[in-house]
Structure formats: structure tokens, C-alpha cells
Amino acid sequence: MILMPLMRLPRTQLGRELLIAVTVKLTIIGLAALFLFGPHQRPQIDAHKVEMRIIGNSTAPDEAPSHQE
Amino acid sequence: MSPALDVVTLSRLQFGLTAMYHFLFVPLTLGLAILLVVMESVYVMTGRVIWRQMTQFWGTLFGINFALGVATGITMEFQFGMNWAYYSHYVGDIFGTPLAIEGLMAFFLEASFIGLFFFGWDRLSKIGHLIVTCLVALGSNLSALWILIANAWMQYPVGARFNPDTMRMEVANFKAVLFNPVAQDKFVHTVSAGYVTGSIFVAAISAYYLLRERHMEIAKRSMAVAASFGLASALSVVVLGDESGYTAGANQKMKIAAIEAMWETEKAPASFTLFGIPNETTHHTDYALRMPWVLGLIATRSLSGQLPGIIPLVNDAKARVESGLTAYKALQRIRRDGTDEAARDALAANGRNLGYALLLKRQRADIENATPDEIAKAAWTTVPAVLPLFWSFRVMVGLGFFFIGLFAVTFYFVSVRKIERIRPLLWVILCALPLPWIAAELGWFVSEVGRQPWVIEGVLPTFLAVSSLSAANVVTTLIGFVLFYSTLLAVDLYLMVKTVRHGPGPLPPHAAAPARVLPVAAE
């Protein structure tokens, strides 16, 4: 009930166009974050992994998929 | 070529391509923003509507360029986390700070006020709108400042120290990062190059109108602004580029030696090789045409300062690899036993050379057992690609001097009010349109390829900074980026050409006629 006034479409054309543009942008960014660059897609690096890369014996950085890094 | 190298090469190619695409838009944004401030200031001071119309016309082109520039820049930030995850962990504490400030301070400033610039003409006072335009220009230049502070740290990593417990570089002195001399030189050199790009852009389109005898009043005034601002900028870009080279000569000696294809240390003052074909196999520059003293005077600003050649620098690198191995062994001991104070002391004493030891990782995993041959080979990897650096630098510098001449001649004919009659000059200006972009891209090529094999000079080799992705992953995204960015570039060119062909539209009655005698630029 409290959100009802906020859910009404803006009265002016400019307001409606702005709402549509912002909604489309947020949707695209949300989907991109979910499927392209979110934490699950990003390689997770910590001190131990850097140690393995620098001091450890592995020099081939090509085997593990990014999310398993 | 090993699979690991494939990923490194592909990741470099991907970042290089996206960065070069992005930098097609950036210099024009930097230059046009200032030119808009100049034009609108004249409008506010004289009240002449034609200057408002000029600001709006060039502002439209600025807006197209800005929107597409932002789109190409965002992906680069994500690449640090996705493709260069080890880099991001290793130096993110320092490198991430200026990038975050750039986004929060400069980009937000620019992006917030650009809307007011376009939609505020009839809603703000003249002064209010001029302030908005100034803030857009300030935002774009501040954005360049913070990005270049980050990039300069990659060239000259000051104000940071390696923490063996977190296995990363951490900020020790943010003031040193902020006032990095390389950052200051790179900033003024880069924004000046942007101003030249903006000026050539305005001058070339104005030349097109003058040749077609369309929009003559706006074209003449735009040409006057572009010629005067462009001349000052072209002079600045050469002087400040020299300063940038001088700083690099102090901090990145190998880069300077490679740019000059100077294999051996010459007796001071060193000669400048105007022409030559560097041979990276024989370590000799064939067909060299040398100008005595010039390089020594430019690079050291003295008659006695010596510039080390590539081969002596490689010998220095060998000693640094050996010292780095001591640091490496100390780091191994610290990681096994964090309370080993002797190891911490050894790391502190040799830590500045740790990166040099890591160069050996290209050859073997257990680098502590490296042979003298392997150490010599690692030292030679500190030499970047000499031939492309040598020629890229010379073409860039040649273009810089060409811009000075072009703007000087144009400025003269604008001052004597004959520019519209000198058609060969107008053709030259029009044909010069792509040249500032070529110069700027070559400049970045010299800067970034000249830093190799390091992603952080002397600290982290590039091949250790890349994420553990598969080559197929990187190839797929690389193809995606090329397609996406090519589409953006095509859209940009289409919108630009459409806007230029349409032109600024007809002038309001009496808008062009001067009310009183004014200087040519303000008429």
C-alpha cells in the first residue's frame, strides 16, 4: 500500500521516457552483472593463490577455468 | 609458443585493442570540452548569438563522441578483474585507488553536468550555463588526471611496498603516488595531445565548410579558435613531451635506450639517430643517420650526462636478477615461517629486485636453481621491441612538429583574414584530420610497449599478471569486443558525418554581422 503511489507511471512524457530508460539500463547492468562480470564470473585471487603463482611450481596459467581459480 | 604464452599474448592483445579503441574518443573529448568553454565564453562576453550556435553545434559532436567514449571505457575497468586478476590482487591496493577516485569524482562530475549542458540552454542563465560547460571540461580533464596517475604508477611505482604476508603491493605513501613526477608529465602531455586533436577536428571540419562555401561565418570563427588554441597546444605537446621523455630517461632507462636504438653507451653528449633500421639480432642500427649531441642534450640537458645503452643495461639487469633471487629465497622462507626476521631483513634489502627474479619464471618453475645462462636470458627479456618503438616514436614526434607548422600557417592566414581563399591549405587541414589520432595511438604504443616485459616496471612481469583463463575464453571475448567496438565506431562515424553534413543550421538574422570592430576570434 505504501509503495502504490511510487508505482504509478509519471504523468509527463519526459518522466515516462526517463523511467523506461533507467529501467532498461538497470536491467542490462543487472543481467550483465549476473552473467558476465559478477563475483561468480570473476577470478577470486588471494595471498595463497599469488603465492602459488609466484613461489609455487605452477607456471602455466591456462588450465583452470576462471571461476575455479 | 606455449599455451600460457598464448593466454598472455591474447590478453595483451585484448587490452591493447580496447585501450586503443577507447583512446579514439578520449582525446577528442578532452580537446572539444576546452574549445566549447572558449566558444561559450566569447558568447557570454560579447552576447553574439553565433557563438552560442557554434557552441551548440560543436557540443553536439562532443556529445556523440562522449557517449561512445564512455561505452568503450567501461569494459576496460572490468578487464582488470577478469583478465588480469593476479595483477589486480598484486597491485590493486594502489592501482585501484586513483581509478575509484576517477569514477567517483571526475566521471560523476562530467556525467552529471553534461545533461545540463545539452538541456540547460533555456533553463540556465548565460553565466550558469558557462559554469556548467566549464565543469564538464574540468571533469573530463580530471578524469584524465586520475587515469594517468594510475598509469604512471605502472611506469614508475613509487609510494608502495611489497607485503610478504598479503603477497601484494600496498600503499606506503599516497602523496608520492599522487605527485609521481611521471604522472605530472604524462598528464600535461596527454591533455595537450587531446587539445591538438580537438583543434585539428574543429579546423578540419571548418576547412570542409570553407571549401564547400557552407556555414562560412561559423567556419571562419571556428577556424580562428582552432588555429590559435591548436598552435598553443601543439607547442605545449612537444615541449611537455620532451619533459616526459626526460623523466622517463631518469626512471625508465631501458625504454629510452630502446626508443633510441642505442645499443652501447655513447660518450656524452649522445647523438640522436634520425633514421636507421635497428637490427635486434646483431644489436646494431643499420643505415644510421646520426645528429651529434642532440640526444644527450635533450635527454640529460647537459653536455656531460651519460645515457646508458641497451647492452650495459642488460648487464645491470643480470645483477638485479641475482639480487632478486636473494629476495625470492627470503620470500620463500617468510612464507614458510612468518617469524623469520633474518629472511625479512634479506627481503627488505633486496626486495626492489624481486620482480627481476620473477622474470626467470618464464623459463623454469624452481627459479632458485637458475643457471647463469638462464639468468642472462632473463636479463635480455628486459629489452622491449626496439624496431617498432624506434619508428613509432619518430613518426609521433614528426607529426608533433607537423602540427606546429600547420597551426602556425593557419593562424597567420586566419589573422590576416584570408584563410577562406587559401584552398590548398584548407585541403591540407582537411586531410590532416586522422593524424592526431595516429600520433596519440603511437604515443601510447611507445609508452606501453616500451614498458615491456613489465606490467609494473621492475615489480611484476606481464606474464605473471594475467588470469588463469583458457585461450578459447580470451579469443571468444576478443572477437566479441572487436565486433562490438567496430559497431560502436561505425555508429560514431555515422552520427558524426550526419551531424557535420547537416551543419549548424541557418544563422538567425544579423547574427553574423559584427556590431563593432572586434578581434578576429571574437568577431
What is the distance between the alpha carbons of residues B429 and B173, in angstroms, rounded to a whole number?
Answer: 47
The interface predicted TM-score of the complex, written ipTM, equals: 0.73
What is the distance between the alpha carbons of residues B137 and B143, in angstroms, rounded to a whole number?
Answer: 10
Residue by residue, DSSP assigns B437-488 as HHHHHHHHHHHHHTTTTEEETTTEEGGGTS----HHHHHHHHHHHHHHHHHH
Amino acid at B313: L
Which string of b and e fits B109-137 if b means at least 16 CB within 10 Å?
A: bbeebbebbeeeeeeeeeeebbebbbbbb
B79-105: average pLDDT: 89
Residue B411 has pLDDT above 60, yes or no: yes
Encode pLDDT of B421-449 as tens digits.
999 999 999 999 999 999 999 999 999 99
Give the residue among B242, B377, B258 at the shortest CA–CA distance from B307.
B258
> What crossing angle do the helices spanning B181-212 and B216-251 adopt, rounded to 10°?
160
B17-46: average pLDDT: 94
Q: Which tops the pLDDT comparison, A51 or B523?
A: A51
Q: Which tops the pLDDT comparison, B178 or A67?
A: B178
Q: Which tops the pLDDT comparison, B473 or A65?
A: B473
Residue A46 confidence (pLDDT): 85
Residue by residue, DSSP assigns B339-401 as T-HHHHHHHHHHGGGHHHHHGGGGT-S-GGG--HHHHHHHHHTTS--HHHHHHHHHHHHHHHH
φ, ψ of residue B355 to 5 degrees: the values are: -55, -35
**Pairing between β-strand B454-456 and β-strand B460-461 as defined by DSSP bridges:** antiparallel
Domain boundaries, chain B: 3-252+387-502, 266-300, 310-380
Give the residue among B460, B469, B86 at the shortest CA–CA distance from A46.
B86
What is the distance between the alpha carbons of residues B45 and A55, in angstroms, rounded to a whole number?
Answer: 65
Closest chain A residue to the Cα of B355, Cα to Cα: A54
Domain boundaries, chain A: 15-57
Chain A residues lying within 8 Å of B361, measured CB to CB: 54, 59
φ, ψ of residue B454 to 5 degrees: the values are: -100, 140
Distance from the Cα of A21 to chain B's closest Cα (Å) equals 14
Secondary element (H or E) of residue B275: strand B272-279
Task: Look at A61 and B366 and tell me if their CB atoms are within 8 Å.
Answer: no
B361-369: average pLDDT: 90
B307-327: average pLDDT: 95
Residue B245 confidence (pLDDT): 83
Task: Look at A50 and B167 and tell me if their CB atoms are within 8 Å.
Answer: yes
In chain B, % of residues over pLDDT 70: 96
pTM given for the model? 0.88
Task: Look at B82 and A69 and tell me if their CB atoms are within 8 Å.
Answer: no
How far is it between the farthest Cα atoms of chain A?
A: 65
Residue A65 confidence (pLDDT): 39
Could you tell me the three cell numbers for B158?
Answer: 613509487
Cα Rg of chain B (Å, integer): 25
What is the distance between the alpha carbons of residues A47 and B480, in angstroms, rounded to a whole number?
Answer: 32
Task: Look at B361 and A54 and tell me if their CB atoms are within 8 Å.
Answer: yes
Residue B516 has pLDDT above 90, yes or no: no
- The residues, ordered by sequence, that sit 6+ positions from B258 with a Cβ below 8 Å of its Cβ are B310, B383, B384, B385, B386, B389, B390, B450
Average pLDDT of every residue of chain B: 91
Residue B388 has pLDDT above 90, yes or no: yes
B121-149: average pLDDT: 94
Closest chain B residue to the Cα of A64, Cα to Cα: B468
Encode pLDDT of B265-284 as tens digits.
988 888 999 899 999 999 99
Residue B497 has pLDDT above 90, yes or no: yes
B58-65: average pLDDT: 94
Residue A62 confidence (pLDDT): 41
Could you tell me the three cell numbers for B440?
Answer: 596519440
Distance from the Cα of B9 to chain A's closest Cα (Å) equals 12
For A43-57, B15-29, B303-317, which range has the lowest pLDDT when averaged over its residues?
A: A43-57
Residue A43 has pLDDT above 90, yes or no: no
Q: Which tops the pLDDT comparison, A4 or B156?
A: B156
Band of residue A40 on the pLDDT scale cut at 50, 70, 90: confident
For B20-34, B308-322, B374-388, B466-480, which range has the lowest pLDDT when averaged over its residues?
A: B466-480
Count Cβ atoms below 10 Å from residue B362 Cβ, excluding itself.
Answer: 20
Residue by residue, DSSP assigns B94-113 as HHHHHHHHIIIIIIHHHHHH
What is the distance between the alpha carbons of residues B127 and B145, in angstroms, rounded to a whole number?
Answer: 26
Among A37, A43, A47, beta carbon nearest to B468? A43
Band of residue B508 on the pLDDT scale cut at 50, 70, 90: low
Band of residue A63 on the pLDDT scale cut at 50, 70, 90: very low
Count Cβ atoms below 10 Å from residue B363 Cβ, excluding itself.
Answer: 16
Amino acid at B192: S
Q: Is B95 on the interface with A (CB under 8 A)?
A: no
Task: Look at A47 and B168 and tell me if their CB atoms are within 8 Å.
Answer: yes
Residue A6 has pLDDT above 70, yes or no: no
Residue B257 confidence (pLDDT): 93
Distance from the Cα of B119 to chain A's closest Cα (Å) equals 12
What is the distance between the alpha carbons of residues B47 and B53, in angstroms, rounded to a whole number?
Answer: 12
Residue by residue, DSSP assigns B123-144 as TS-HHHHHHHHHHHHHHHHHHH
Count Cβ atoms below 10 Å from residue A16 Cβ, excluding itself.
Answer: 12
Sequence length of chain B is 523
Residue A67 confidence (pLDDT): 41
What is the distance between the alpha carbons of residues B431 and B434, in angstroms, rounded to a whole number?
Answer: 7
- Rounded alpha-carbon distances, angstroms, from residue B471 to B453, B467, B482, B489: 20, 11, 16, 26
Could you tell me the three cell numbers for B184?
Answer: 605530472
Phi-psi category of B460—alpha, beta or left, where left has phi over 0 and alpha has psi -120 to 50?
A: beta
